[in-house]
Structure 1
Amino acid sequence: MKDFPETLDFSYETQPVRVVFRPGASVSATPGEAAGLGLRRLLVVCGSRGEATARTVADALGDACVGLHAGARMHVPVEIVERAVEVARAAGADGCVAVGGGSAIGLGKAIALRTGLPLIAVPSTYAGSEMTPVWGLTEHGAKRTGRDPAVQPRSVVYDPDLTLSLPVDLSVTSGINALAHAVEALYAPDGSPLVSLMAQEGVRAMTGALPGIAVAPDDLDARARALYAAWLCGACLGATTMGLHHKLCHVLGGSFGLPHAETHTVILPYALAYNAPEAPHAVAALNRALDTDDAPRTLHDLARRLGAPGSLAELGVTEADLEVAALQAASQPYANPREVTADGILGVLRAAYEGHAPVS
Structure 2
Amino acid sequence: MSRNFTYEALPGRVVFGAGTASQLAAETDRVGGHRVLVVASNRDQRLVDQLVRPLGDRLVGRFTDVRQHVPIEVAAAAREMAAELAADCVVCVGGGSAIGTAKAIALVRPVPIVAVPTTYAGSEMTPVWGLTEDGRKTTGRDPAVQPATVIYDPELTLSLPPAIAAPSGVNALAHCVEAMWVPAASPITTLMAAEGIRTLAGSLPAVVADGGDLEARSGALYGAYLAGAAFATTGSGLHHRICHVLGGAFDLPHAETHTIVLPYVVAFNELAVPEVMRTIAAALGTQSAPAGLWALTGRLGTPRALRDIGLSAEDVDRAVKLLLEKDYSDNARPVTEADLTAIVRAAFAGDPVV
SS of 1:116's partner is: coil
Match 2:16 to one of 18, 21, 29: 21
Match 2:352 to one of 345, 349, 357: 357
Structure 1 residue 103 and structure 2 residue 97: aligned?
Answer: yes
1:320, distance to aligned residue in structure 2 (A): 2.1
The answer to whether the 8 A contact 2:199-2:223 is kept is yes
SS of 1:76's partner is: coil
Which amino acid letter does the alignment assign opposite residue 45 of structure 2? E
1:122-137 to structure 2, matched below 5 A, reads: 122-137=116-131
Q: Which residue of 1 aligns with 2:336?
A: 341
Which amino acid letter does the alignment assign opposite residue 343 of structure 2? V
Q: Give the gaps of 5 or more residues in structure 2.
A: none
> Aligned partners of 1:75, 1:106: CA distance in 2, in Å?
8
SS of 1:29's partner is: helix
Match 1:208 to one of 202, 220, 231: 202
1:53, distance to aligned residue in structure 2 (A): 1.7
SS of 1:227's partner is: helix
1:144, distance to aligned residue in structure 2 (A): 0.4
1:22, distance to aligned residue in structure 2 (A): 1.5
The answer to whether the 8 A contact 1:16-1:154 is kept is yes
> Aligned partners of 1:291, 1:110: CA distance in 2, in Å?
39
SS of 2:270's partner is: helix
* Structure 1 stretches of at least 4 aligned residues deviating more than 6 Å after TM superposition: none
The answer to whether the 8 A contact 2:25-2:52 is kept is no
Q: How large is the RMSD of aligned CA atoms in angstroms?
A: 1.0
Q: Which residue of 2 aligns with 1:227?
A: 221
1:257-272 to structure 2, matched below 5 A, reads: 257-272=251-266
Structure 1 residue 198 and structure 2 residue 192: aligned?
Answer: yes
Alignment identity in percent?
48
The answer to whether the 8 A contact 1:297-1:358 is kept is yes
SS of 2:6's partner is: coil
The answer to whether the 8 A contact 1:55-1:68 is kept is no
1:90, distance to aligned residue in structure 2 (A): 1.3
Which amino acid letter does the alignment assign opposite residue 242 of structure 2? L
> Aligned partners of 2:295, 2:311: CA distance in 1, in Å?
21
Q: Which residue of 1 aligns with 2:42?
A: 48
Match 1:141 to one of 135, 158, 168: 135
User: TM-score, with normalisation over the residues of structure 2?
Assistant: 0.98
SS of 1:50's partner is: helix
Which amino acid letter does the alignment assign opposite residue 57 of structure 1? L
User: TM-score, with normalisation over the residues of structure 1?
Assistant: 0.96
SS of 1:71's partner is: coil
1:173-322 to structure 2, matched below 5 A, reads: 173-322=167-316
1:313-332 to structure 2, matched below 5 A, reads: 313-332=307-326
